[in-house]
Every structure is written in C-alpha cells, then in structure tokens.
Structure 1
Amino acid sequence: MSETATAERSKATAAGRPPVSRERVRARREARGAWVLLGPSLIILGVMVAYPAVLMVIQSFTDYTVKNKVLGTTPNVVWFENYIALFSESDFPAVLMRSLGLMVVLTFLNMLFGILVAVLMTRLGRAWRIVVSVGLLLAWAMPPLTATVVWGWIFDTQYGVVNWALNAVTGTSDWTNHSWLLNPWSFFFVLTIIIVWQSVPFVAFTTYAALGQVPGEVLEAASLDGATGLKRFGFVVFPYLRSVLTVVLVLQIIWNLRIFTQVYALQSRGGIAAETNVLGTYLFRQGVGEFGATAAIGVVMVILLLTLSWGYVRSTLKEEEL
C-alpha cells in the first residue's frame, strides 16, 4: 500500500471515519491531476469567453454608449428596455426571420450536395478522385472575401460573364447591365451560390472519411439481399454516419447563422443593406457606440445558437452516460 493511502487511512481512523480504500485514493489523485492539466485551458476560456459573455449580458441591461466610455461615467440600468426596443421598434424581427430562412436553405443544400459528392467520390477511380479532391480543396481554401470578390465579378453588371452568357443563349440584349445584387431575391441567390460552393467541400470530405468506416461485408450483404442504392444508404450506410453527420449538421447551422463576410462584401458591391441584412451585418451596422443595444443583439444570437445546438449537446451527454 502506498504512503499516500496509508496516510489517508490513518487520518480517517484518527477522525473516527471509516478508512479510505485504495481505489478512492487513486481516484482523488487522478482527479487532482486532471484539474491541474485542465487549469490553463480553463483560465484561458474564462478570460477569452466567460468574461466577455458575462460583460455582454450585463451591458445589455444598460444604456451604455461611447459617451459613458469617453467620460468615464456609469451607465443607467434600463433592464429589458433594449430587448423590448429590439423586437418592437426596429427591423430586427425581419432580419432574424431572414437569417433563419437563409440558414435552413444553406444547411440543406450544403448537406445534400456534400453527401452526394462524397458518395460520388467512392465510385470514382483514383485519378478522378484526386482531381475532384484538389478542386474541392481549392474552393475550401479560398478566403471568403476573395471568393466573394471573384463571384462578384462573375455576376458583375457590366463585365460579368453570367450576363454575357445569358445574352448569348437567349440571342437578345435583355441581360445587358442587369444588376444581380440590386434585387434582394437575386442577391440571396448569388450569396447562396458563393456559400454553398465554399461549404460543400467540408461536408464532402468529412462524409467521405466516414464512408470509409462502413464495413464492406455489410454493403455486400445488403446488395445480395436486393437492397437498392437508396435503401442501402438509408438502412445500412446511414446508421454508421449518423454521429458524424449530426456533428456536421450542427456546425453548418452555426456557421450559416453567423455569416458576415460574404454578405457585407456583396452589399458593398451594390446590394441594399436594409433589405439584405442578416444577423451579423445587422449587428455590425447598428449605431456607433450603442454598446447596450448591440449587446442585447449579441445575447439574443447566443441564446439562439445554444437553442439550435442543444439537441446535439443533449444526445452527446446521453451517449457518454451509457
């Protein structure tokens, strides 16, 4: 028996408590070691995440502005006035619904095309698979701002190749100087193309890696039983992919609800900000120095993201308990 365990037993005997077993001593020692290893990470999370989050919540209940910051005065506590004004005296509800609708469309298209590309890669030969992988990596590696600028030129009013191609196909000049960004519907059409083009590679690579974990014997048995492609994927392959696709789905929901760069860059090229704002750009374009009002928007966004990802967190906790 180790000296630590002996000391623990001696202390317990002197105090009139039942002696501590060796397993409990070892568990306590491992717990202390785990907390020591986690300490630096917890400190960093506290400084980088917890403190700003608590400060944002506190500021959302005040009328804190840049004037208070410059003069060093204490803001007034207004309680829920910022939240009431946010939902009753601004266009935030319209922006919220627009962001949620765009998130649903983008997530569906990203997951659909990503899974289809992953399945296609399993059917391609080595050479074609390398070509497709390189193409996906190039699209994925391109910075969002650069991709938006490139696609913005493709849909440019005067020099865009899309307008030229449509004129060539229709044999008319109806698409000359046609603005794709002025109308909100065509604006979001272009935005959807850009984001899906850059998001599909992540879903495709992740799904393709997960497909490699499906046993070949199971697929062969399903084929011998007469299962078609869709049935084989739904009843045989999908159970092996469920956990991976769930993580990818949650990440897509979060990322698509937080888009900013692409929307802001397209708005700078001719989009009407008031009709095309999403949560990120709406928060950015609020009054300069209105820290209390913008903090309320940030709190609503955090609550929304936590709500959307809570299902995955709960299922993960249940799996750990089994």
Structure 2
Amino acid sequence: MTGAPTAPPRRARPPRDALAENARDRSRRRRDAASALTLLAPSLVILGVMVGYPAVLMVVQSFTDYSIRNKIQGTLPGVVGFENYIAVFTQSDFPAVLGRSLGLMIVMTVLIVGLGSLVAVLMTRLSRGWRVLVSIGLLLAWAMPPLAATTVWGWIFDTQYGLVNWALNTVTGSTEFTNHSWLLNPWSFFLVLTIIVVWQGVPFAAFTLYAALGQVPGEVLEAASLDGATGLQRFRLVVFPYLRNVFTVVVVLQVIWNLRIFTQVYTLQQRGGLVSETNVLGTYIFRQGVGEFGVTSAIGVLMVILLLALSWGYVRTTLKEEEL
C-alpha cells in the first residue's frame, strides 16, 4: 500500500516586523537619494551649463570648417569629418608643440614633487620657529599671482637691468653677461620658465606631503630605525607606502597643471621670447589661426583626451578603492 504523496515543504515567511522594517529601509533610502539629488541639482545644472555645453560644442565644431566667416555671415559651417584632426598633425606645428609641452611637463612635475618631498621632510626636522618661517615663505610664493610672479622673475632675468646678469658678471669678474638675453634662446627661455613654475608649484606639494607625513605612525619609524634602516630606506619602505595615495594625487594634479600652463609662457614671450619656438599647448591654441574655430576645437579635443589619458590611472585606482 502506497502512502499519499507528501506536499513540498512551505517556505518560512519572514515575520511581519521584518517585512515592515525592510519597507521602511527602502523608503528611507529613496528619500535620502531624493534629498541628495535635490541638493546636487544646482551644482549639476551649473556644471552642465558651464562645462557640459562648451565641451559638447567643442567636439561638434571640431568636425566642421567653422570659422569667423560663418560667424559674420550667419551661415552654417560644413561638415569636414576628421580633416581638422589630420591637418593638425600633418599641416601644423602641433606635433612639435605637443612634444615640447610633454617634455616640460615631465621635468616640472619631477622637480616639483621631488623638491616638495624634500621640503616636507625638512619641515618635520625643524623647530617650531623655523617651521613657521619656512611656511610663511612658501605661502608667499604660492599666493603670488602667476602674472605678478612672472613679471618679477622677468625683471630678475632682464637683459639690461637683471639681477642675474649683474651677479654673474660679479662672480666671474667679466662683462660677458652684460646685455645677455635669457629669453631669446629657447633653451634658456625654458630654463627661466621652469624656475618660475617650480618656484610656485613646490609650496603646494610641500604642504600636502607635510600634512600626510603626520599620519605615519612614529612607532613604525622608530622600529625601522632600531632595525638599522637608513633614512632613505625608511622613506622608501615605510613612509612612501603610507603616502602612496597622496603622492598619486599630487603627481596627477601637477601633470594637469603643468600641461595647461599659459600665463607664464605668454608673459615671457611678450618680454622677448620667440613665439614660434617657445609655444606650448596653451599659447598655441590661443594663437592658432585667428577665427579658425574648427581647427582650434580639434586641438582642444586632443588636449582633453591627453589629460584624461594621463589621469586615468588615478581615477581607476580611486574607483577600485571606493568599491572595496
């Protein structure tokens, strides 16, 4: 005799209190999301108007022959596809300017981060009075507007009245540097430019890294010292791992800032630099074909792509850390 088929076991229903609590949690999360979106809405609108619209317009114009003629006559530009991008690389000085800008960016970033690290470590060794004095000096250099700083350094390297020429003549006991132009030669032009940019960039790196150094546990450094680690080994094996993320931020920001320099280069060019041999991306876009908006937009798009490519590593690392 066969028994009656057994019914499948019923799933245990969650208690009503748990269902109600889950519903309340979902409702609270929706309210929080709505509140956050409401608070962010003004900023999103401003970003869309001030950043999104110009960016989209620049991309669209880069595929057209839009020029001052269309603006004056009120006519629509023609679509030229990738002709502007091809012309930028084959019929202009853009490749030379791009290589020059990348080389300057690398040199300036290495100097700023390296000197900033040394100053930050030095500030941890100084007494309170000396640390305050160094901080004031860094703040004065950092707070000076780029135009004012470039004007001051331009007078220091001036051909006739420059302090540098006078000092070199005094040290060498000759008149070899009388009326010597530092801005006429492209190499000495970039030397002066590097001094100005590095002088103003070191304070940011120094202050940021000095604040980060305070997060390194003192007992870890003491243990490494007792184990016989030298100062360089302690910095490389103990300090740097704690500051890796801060170093990454500083490097990425310096790469972006040093690739977008304009004021310092333009001001020095006005004081005697050869424009054709000292242009960087910023000044090149500024001077590129007056009224040739299509070609200029193509250069702008290429510059944005370059900046995104250089900073993508940092963005990807940040997103991975947020997911953990």
Q: Tell me, which stretches of 5 or more residues in structure 1 are unaligned?
A: 1-5, 11-18
- The amino acid of 1:299's aligned partner reads V
- The residue aligned with 2:76 is 74
The alignment-based identity, stated in percent, is 76
Residue 134 (structure 1) aligned with residue 136 (structure 2): yes
Residue 47 (structure 1) aligned with residue 49 (structure 2): yes
- The amino acid of 1:313's aligned partner reads V
- The residue aligned with 2:127 is 125
1:87-121 CA-partner distances (Å, limit 9, x unpaired): 00001000000000000000000000000000000
- The amino acid of 1:91's aligned partner reads D
- The amino acid of 2:88's aligned partner reads L
In 1, distance between residues paired with 2:128 and 2:30? 53
Secondary structure of the 1:22 match is: helix
1:110-133 CA-partner distances (Å, limit 9, x unpaired): 000000000000000111111111
Q: What are the equivalent positions in structure 2 for 1:220-231 lying under 5 Å apart?
A: 220-231=222-233
- The residue aligned with 1:3 is none
- The residue aligned with 1:264 is 266
In 1, distance between residues paired with 2:147 and 2:29? 51
Cα RMSD after superposing both structures: 1.5
- The amino acid of 1:52's aligned partner reads P
Could you tell me the TM-score, scaled by structure 2's length?
0.92
Q: What are the equivalent positions in structure 2 for 1:192-271 lying under 5 Å apart?
A: 192-271=194-273
Residue 61 (structure 1) aligned with residue 63 (structure 2): yes
- The residue aligned with 1:187 is 189
1:144-193 CA-partner distances (Å, limit 9, x unpaired): 01111111111111111111111111111111111100000000000000
Worse-matched range after superposition: 224-233 or 102-111? 224-233
In 2, distance between residues paired with 1:299 and 1:211? 38
- The amino acid of 1:294's aligned partner reads T
In 1, distance between residues paired with 2:303 and 2:87? 16
Worse-matched range after superposition: 205-214 or 218-227? 218-227
In 1, distance between residues paired with 2:37 and 2:208? 32
- The residue aligned with 1:166 is 168
- The amino acid of 1:188's aligned partner reads F
- The amino acid of 1:99's aligned partner reads S
- The amino acid of 2:174's aligned partner reads T
Secondary structure of the 2:176 match is: coil
In 2, distance between residues paired with 1:161 and 1:51? 48
Residue 28 of structure 1 deviates from its aligned partner by 2.2
In 2, distance between residues paired with 1:175 and 1:38? 59
Residue 244 of structure 1 deviates from its aligned partner by 0.9
Residue 20 of structure 1 deviates from its aligned partner by 7.1
In 2, distance between residues paired with 1:20 and 1:223? 54
- The residue aligned with 1:301 is 303
Residue 27 of structure 1 deviates from its aligned partner by 2.2
Aligned with 1:285 (options 284, 287, 295) = 287
Secondary structure of the 1:21 match is: helix
In 2, distance between residues paired with 1:164 and 1:129? 32
In 2, distance between residues paired with 1:36 and 1:283? 38
Q: What are the equivalent positions in structure 2 for 1:16-35 lying under 5 Å apart?
A: 21-35=23-37
In 1, distance between residues paired with 2:215 and 2:48? 37
Residue 29 of structure 1 deviates from its aligned partner by 2.4
Aligned with 2:148 (options 143, 146, 149) = 146
In 1, distance between residues paired with 2:289 and 2:95? 17
